[in-house]
Amino acid sequence: MAIAEQHYILPRPKFDKPVKLLIVVAPYYKDIADNQIAGAKAEIEAAGGTWDLIEVPGALEVPTAIAIAERMSNFDGYVALGCVIRGETTHYDTVCNDSSRAIQLMGLQGLCIGNGILTVENRPQAEVRADTADQNKGGGAAAAALHLMALSRKWGDQRKGVGFKPADELKLAGKV
């Protein structure tokens, strides 16, 4: 059984313009996924955001679905949800490592993703982490995405007018 510790939780970010997130879930363990989804939806709505939800077959497909949505849609951020419980084979390691690595790589490219794919040893650990009244990792993943979106908006606005400008840009702006 997981031992609950007290952790500092950042204040919820505020947005002056609407935010829309895509929740991508692998509902392999449906009851666990449903709790994660409930936590994510509640956190997004508490921040004044809206969400869409899609389901994919497993945790390995979550990053691919996010990449497709990023190329073909208009979301500000993403919440990755699912659960991988250790089994008898090394497939667990592959799913955990590859899904996490793909999500991290997309994050390093600038996507705002909260990773809520649980990687646990057993079902009771997953149940505690997914429970909205306990560890609420679905809500935590949504909060992570929201915080990254707030940073992206803050720093994205600051970049305007900063840095080297090629001469052709200056000519177009009438400054040469």
Q: Is 2 among the domain residues? A: no
What would the pLDDT profile of 56-113 be if each residue is shown by its tens digit?
999 999 999 999 999 999 999 999 999 999 999 999 999 999 999 999 999 999 999 9
Is residue 13 in some structural domain? Answer: no
Residue 113 bridge partners (DSSP): 78
> What is the domain-level CATH number for residue 115?
3.40.50.960
149 is a domain residue: yes
- Residue 72 sits in which domain range? 20-172
Sign of the four-CA dihedral 102, 103, 105, 109: positive
Strand pairing of 77-85 and 50-55?
Answer: unpaired
Domain assignment present for 3: no
**pLDDT at position 138:** 98
What is the value of pTM for the model shown? 0.87
Residues annotated as catalytic are 91
Number of domains in the chain: 1
Tell me 132's DSSP state. T
Query: Does residue 9 lie in a domain region?
Result: no
Cα 25 to Cα 45: distance, rounded to the nearest angstrom: 18
Question: pLDDT tens-digit profile of 137-149?
Answer: 999 999 999 999 9
Longest CA–CA span in the chain (Å) reads: 68
